[in-house]
Amino acid sequence: MEYVLKTNGLCKSYRRYHILNGLTMNVPKGSIYGFVGKNGAGKTTLIRLITGLQDPSSGEYTLYGTKHTDSRISKVRRRMGAVVETPSIYPDMTAKDNLIQQYLTLGISGFDGLEDILKLVGLDNTGKKKAKHFSLGMRQRLGIAVALCGSPDLLVLDEPVNGLDPQGIVEIRELILKLNREKNITVLISSHILDELAKLATHYGFIDSGKIIREMSAEELNAVCRKCMRLTVSSTAILAKVLDDMGIGYSVIDDNHADIYSKPNITQLTLALAKENCEVISFEEHDESLESFYLSLVGGAVNA
Report which of residues 302 and 78 the model is more confident about. Answer: 78
Q: What is the pLDDT of residue 193?
A: 77
**H-assigned helices in the chain:** 43-50, 73-77, 95-106, 114-120, 136-148, 166-182, 194-197, 218-225, 236-246, 266-275, 290-298
Average pLDDT, stretch 184-205?
90
pLDDT band at 10 (very low <50, low <70, confident <90, very high): very high
Mean pLDDT estimate for the chain? 90
pLDDT band at 56 (very low <50, low <70, confident <90, very high): very high
Q: Helix, strand, coil % (nearest 5) of the chain? A: 35, 30, 35
Phi-psi region of 85 (alpha: psi -120 to 50; beta: other; left: phi over 0): left
Cβ atoms within 10 Å of 279's Cβ, excluding its own: 12
Q: What is the pLDDT of residue 304?
A: 41
* Percent residues over pLDDT 70 in the chain: 97
- pLDDT tens digits along 195-237: 888 899 999 999 998 999 999 999 888 877 777 788 999 999 9
Q: Write down the number of H helices and E strands in the chain.
A: 11, 14
Fold of domain 227-286: Alpha-Beta Plaits (3.30.70)
Nearest to 37 by CA among 295, 217, 289: 295
- d(Cα 242, Cα 248) in Å, to the nearest integer? 9
Q: What is the pLDDT of residue 303?
A: 46
Residue 300 pLDDT exceeds 70: no
Average pLDDT, stretch 173-191?
94
- d(Cα 239, Cα 259) in Å, to the nearest integer? 11
Which residues on adjacent β-strands are paired with residue 60?
Answer: 8
- d(Cα 301, Cα 304) in Å, to the nearest integer? 9
Domains in the chain: boundaries: 3-215, 227-286
Of the options 3.40.50.300, 3.40.220.10, 3.40.640.10, 3.20.20.140, the CATH number for the domain spanning 3-215: 3.40.50.300
Average pLDDT, stretch 137-161?
94
